[in-house]
Amino acid sequence: MSRLDLFIHFKKIYPNCSRKEIQDLIEAIKWDKYWLVCPNYKNAMYTVALTRANIPKENGFQARTTYLKRVVVVSEAARFSRKGRILMVIKLGSKYVAKSVISWSAFLRLINEDTNLIYNMLIEGKFPPFINDKNIKAIILKAHKQK
């Protein structure tokens, strides 16, 4: 897909995002971007999904992503995996497993929160399989109550 096609596609999916935010998503895909959940820990990261998670694997379904290339998405979250969504990935042994799928607009809010709190919630399994604009506020409030 060309950049214009990608822009039109993602603007339909994320109508509340600004032009710059959509362009940032396209650039993240182009440049194989990833983000650490917490800079202190290298075993948890966010990557952009490039495909649906529909290839059956041992603990879920496989999806292609930026940076890591192939990730297993747990069964509960696999149905939410789509191109342009963010996968919250954690390293288990030698494999990377996505525990939650996040919409781009919710990710933009989540990335600005306290990274240590978000990392601890991920390790403790307190994230739902899908995080979007509707439930991100409750997740952020829950994170702040844990302080």
Mean pLDDT, rounded, for 9-18: 95
Domain for residue 16, yes or no?
no
Beta strand spans in the chain (E): 34-38, 41-48, 55-57, 60-65, 69-74, 86-92, 95-102, 130-131
| Strand 41-48, strand 95-102: pairing | unpaired
- 121, 143 contact by CB (below 8 A): yes
Q: Which residues pair with 29 in a beta bridge?
A: none
H/E stretch holding 6 reads helix 3-13
pLDDT tens digits for 115-133? 999 999 999 999 999 999 9
In three state form, how does the secondary structure of 15-40 look?
A: CCCCHHHHHHHHHHHHCCCEEEEECC
- Domain containing residue 45: 33-145
Nearest-angstrom CA–CA distance, 115 and 7: 29
pLDDT tens digits for 80-120? 999 999 999 999 988 999 999 999 999 999 999 999 999 99
Domain for residue 64, yes or no?
yes
Mean pLDDT, rounded, for 39-45: 95
Domain for residue 44, yes or no?
yes
Domain count, the chain: 1
* CATH number of the structural domain spanning residue 100: 2.40.50
Q: Which of 36, 40, 94 is nearest to 67 (CA)?
A: 36
pLDDT attached to residue 147: 66
pLDDT tens digits for 18-31? 999 999 999 999 99
Q: Which residues pair with 49 in a beta bridge?
A: 65
